Amino acid sequence: MAEGSGFVEHAVDGDVHVLRIANPPVNTLRTEVRAGLLDGLRAAQKAGARAVVLIGSGRGFSAGAEMTEFGKPRQPPSLPDVFDAIEASDAPVVAAIHGNALGGGLELALACHARVASPGGQLGLPEVKRGFVPGAGGTQRLPRLIGLEALRMIVSGEPVTAEEAQRLGFVDAVLQGELEKAAVAWARDAAASGRRFALARDRTDKIQGQGMAAFDAAAQKLLARSRGQESPKGCVEAVRAAFTLPFEEGLKRERDLFQTLVSGEQSKALRHVFFGEREAQRVPGVPADTKPLPVQRLVVIGGGTMGGGIAMSAANFGLPVTMVETSAEALGKGLNRCRANWQRTVDSGRLKPEEMERRSALLKGSTDFDAAVREADLVVEAVFEDMAVKKEIFGRLDKVARPGAVLASNTSTLDIDEIASATSRPELVCGMHFFSPANVMRLLEIVRGAKTSAQTLATAMDVGKRIGKLNVVVGNCDGFVGNRMTGKRGPQVEKLLLEGALPQDIDRVMEAYGMAMGPLATGDLAGLDIGAAVRKARGTVAPIADAIVAKGRFGQKTGAGYYRYDENRKRQPDPEVEKIILDVAEKMQVRRRKIEDSEILERLLLPMVNEGARILEEGIAARPVDIDVVFVNGFGWPAWRGGPMFWADSLGLEQVRDKLAHYAEATGDPNLRPAPLIERLAAEGGSFATMKAPAQAA
Ligand code: NAD
């Protein structure tokens, strides 16, 4: 027998009732599901069920609350209403988990009398990553089941597998075979055995006698990485309540923290990025049903910094890859760098030796360009940044690669259309712009050339996804989205140094804002000689940067750049740099003054926002949120700040326009004149969030 609301199916298997959540694709706990669960529990109770099994249909148990219901008037019943009914049930309610049990989904399972699970899966409370705390008792029940380990799970938001959950103590049994059948049998046996189930809320054994010193030490360690973000601190406070307050009071504390955080700016920013990352996968001109070409072997041309990282990314995710180099020596170096990198991870205990073996076996090397390329379904070229070299390589790729193979370039600045013109298959050419280190950074800008086909883009996106990257499709221009925007920050860095700031002032302001690393420390890490070479090629100057490079200060690799570095590569402000800066300012007759932190922040962020607006006008990015996703995933922008365009919106575009106009005037930098899009939106009282996306060429 099966009936129910449509969102919860109710089946009866002898004396055990089964409530099956059926809200595809991921069984979020929308209003109808909560109502269906409540009805089902009442009906099972009325029918005298011996036990009730809660299970998810489809891919998993439940991915949690329906986030689109946030911020709207709440419809009853609430999750706590459902949990009250579970906890009041005479018959034990057993959650049967397969796949994901996340957020509210796991909280539902924690309110049950017992939990069983299929092997694997992901069980966790990721709310912290959306800027709030679990809001339906998760922070009170999980510690009562597993003690201090709950703090780590809740503050990090990282899920665990069913096996790990069993080891920690919040899954009672991992069951093999078909889960519903096995769970019904398990519940029936358990009920028949007269086993007494202790509800999480009634347990005290894991939280009593817990010295709070251990709690504080664990909390401090966990919070060390979260800096300005509020939700990890909120999680610590909520879990602390589990250890120090009675259950009901703890729930109230959790609820208060949830309400405060969920309505705050940080949570709004984190949800903006979360939904933005999904939105970015919908690409104008690439219908959702576009079939990617099958890619079974990737060939990477060049085994340098980027080629090595790209090859590692592929092998890390099980995609066979060949690295091509010009000589046996260069190839050996490239392959060794990959192996040494994996070995370091093994040595640190974060990678199993057999996993390293598996990855190494997927990575081959070759100095026979033609033979290697013939086997490729996708080629990513990562040789020197030189148009003549790239065109020569693409001409050769076109001759050797099988028809239908996709040819991509990792160029940071060069024109994809010109590169494609060296081939007879421009529709199969695109950019795949990885970020350094390519095996670590999640961002992948996929560059659409004038002739790139939808299928080529879909193929690059499919491979990007398979190797753990976050794709953003961008248009063809110098620097694409990320580098083009940060490029507009550079002149302001120079001017600020000249007018009165020191490197440590600029980096302090940006790091206090939440950036992983300030722009000058980042320059030192990347190598100041790279920027100098670009300026030389373009015939531009940056008096202070040039003076620093002229002293042989190339950054970390020479032990000195904008800072001095000790043997542990720890940076120190350097009086010599201050002297260089003062000398240049004097020579240029600039009177230095004290510059406020707010001015530093605005002069670094506003030029990026302004260029972002131009990027939108030109259709280089399809949506403002695509730009934010680029910065969060590729440039160390804290997700809880939402990205540059989100920042501009929270400032208000009228303010953005006025401040840009002011700084354009004050600094004589024409780049700071407000972009027409900002002028228009500000005049209309609009924002980036609500603007209509410009039509994008297919
Ligand atoms: P790199 O100098 O470290 O490596 C280039 C490698 O290509 C060298 O090992 C060289 O031997 C090899 N090579 C040259 N010609 C070749 C050929 N005909 N066949 C096979 N191999 C050949 O340079 P990199 O930093 O890895 O940059 C590579 C590309 O990636 C450039 O286009 C660059 O703009 C782009 N990129 C670099 C970064 C970065 O941070 N380094 C980031 C994104 C994109």
- Is the pLDDT confidence value at 223 over 80? yes
Contact, 382 vs 306, CB < 8 A?
Answer: yes
How large is the average pLDDT for residues 404-424? 97
How large is the average pLDDT for residues 382-393? 96
Band the pLDDT of 516: cuts 50, 70, 90.
Answer: confident
Q: Dig out the tokens for 18 from the structure.
A: 């089964």
Please work out whether the CB of residue 301 comes within 6 Å of at least one atom of ligand 1.
yes
Ligand 1 center from residue 472 Cα (angstroms): 22
pLDDT value of position 226: 84
Kind plus residue range of the DSSP H or E element containing 116: strand 114-117
257 backbone φψ class: left, alpha, beta (φ>0; ψ -120 to 50): alpha
Percent of the chain residues topping a pLDDT of 70: 98
How large is the average pLDDT for residues 258-284? 96
Rounded to 5 degrees, φ, ψ at 539 are 70, 30
- Is the pLDDT confidence value at 633 over 90? yes
Atom in ligand 1 nearest the alpha carbon of residue 308? 26
pTM, 2 dp: 0.91
Please work out whether the CB of residue 251 comes within 6 Å of at least one atom of ligand 1.
no
CA distance between the termini of the chain: 51
Percent of the chain residues topping a pLDDT of 90: 93
pLDDT value of position 696: 46
pLDDT value of position 693: 64
How far, rounded to the nearest angstrom, does the alpha carbon of residue 627 sit from its chain's CA centroid?
A: 14
- Is the pLDDT confidence value at 600 over 50? yes
**Alpha carbons 480 and 474: distance in angstroms, whole number:** 7
- Is the pLDDT confidence value at 431 over 90? yes
Q: Which residues, including other chains, have CB under 8 Å from residue 145's CB and lie 6 or more apart? A: 110, 169, 170, 200, 203, 206
Q: Which domains does the chain have, with CATH numbers?
A: 3-262 (3.90.226.10), 298-479 (3.40.50.720), 501-587 (1.10.1040.50), 605-684 (1.10.1040.10)
- Which one of 367, 383, 399, 478 would you pick to mutate in the ligand 1 pocket, going by the greatest count of ligand atoms within 8 A of its CB? 383
DSSP string, 40-65: HHHHHHHTT-SEEEEEE-TT-SB-BS
Q: What is the pLDDT of residues 57-84, one digit of tens each?
A: 999 999 999 888 877 888 899 999 999 9
Q: Is 158 a catalytic residue?
A: no
pLDDT value of position 86: 97
Band the pLDDT of 5: cuts 50, 70, 90.
Answer: low
DSSP string, 531-566: HHHHHHHHT---HHHHHHHHTT--BGGGTBSSSEE-
- Which one of 299, 300, 305 would you pick to mutate in the ligand 1 pocket, going by the greatest count of ligand atoms within 8 A of its CB? 305
Q: Which of 696, 698, 281, 627 is nearest to 471 (CA)?
A: 281
Please work out whether the CB of residue 383 comes within 6 Å of at least one atom of ligand 1.
yes
**Alpha carbons 4 and 19: distance in angstroms, whole number:** 9
Ligand 1 center from residue 385 Cα (angstroms): 7
pLDDT value of position 188: 96
- Which of the residues 9, 69, 87, 107 is marked catalytic? 107
- Which of the residues 32, 69, 87, 127 is marked catalytic? 127
How large is the average pLDDT for residues 343-352? 96
- Is the pLDDT confidence value at 301 over 70? yes
Please work out whether the CB of residue 324 comes within 6 Å of at least one atom of ligand 1.
yes
- Is the pLDDT confidence value at 255 over 70? yes
**Alpha carbons 434 and 446: distance in angstroms, whole number:** 9
Please work out whether the CB of residue 384 comes within 6 Å of at least one atom of ligand 1.
yes
User: For ligand 1, atom 10, which residue shows the shortest CA distance?
Assistant: 302
| Max CA distance (Å), the chain | 91
Ligand 1 center from residue 301 Cα (angstroms): 8
pLDDT value of position 698: 36
- Is the pLDDT confidence value at 1 over 50? no
How large is the average pLDDT for residues 245-253? 97
Atom in ligand 1 nearest the alpha carbon of residue 411? 32
Q: What is the pLDDT of residues 640-689, one digit of tens each?
A: 999 999 999 999 999 999 999 999 999 988 889 999 999 999 999 999 99
How large is the average pLDDT for residues 570-587? 97
Q: Is 9 a catalytic residue?
A: no
pLDDT value of position 534: 85
Band the pLDDT of 697: cuts 50, 70, 90.
Answer: very low
The pLDDT mean for the chain works out to 95
Q: Which of 650, 655, 698, 694 is nearest to 678 (CA)?
A: 655
Please work out whether the CB of residue 360 comes within 6 Å of at least one atom of ligand 1.
no
Please work out whether the CB of residue 460 comes within 6 Å of at least one atom of ligand 1.
no
Q: Which of 532, 550, 555, 666 is nearest to 602 (CA)?
A: 666
Q: What is the pLDDT of residues 101-156, one digit of tens each?
A: 999 999 999 999 999 999 999 999 999 999 999 999 999 999 999 999 999 999 99
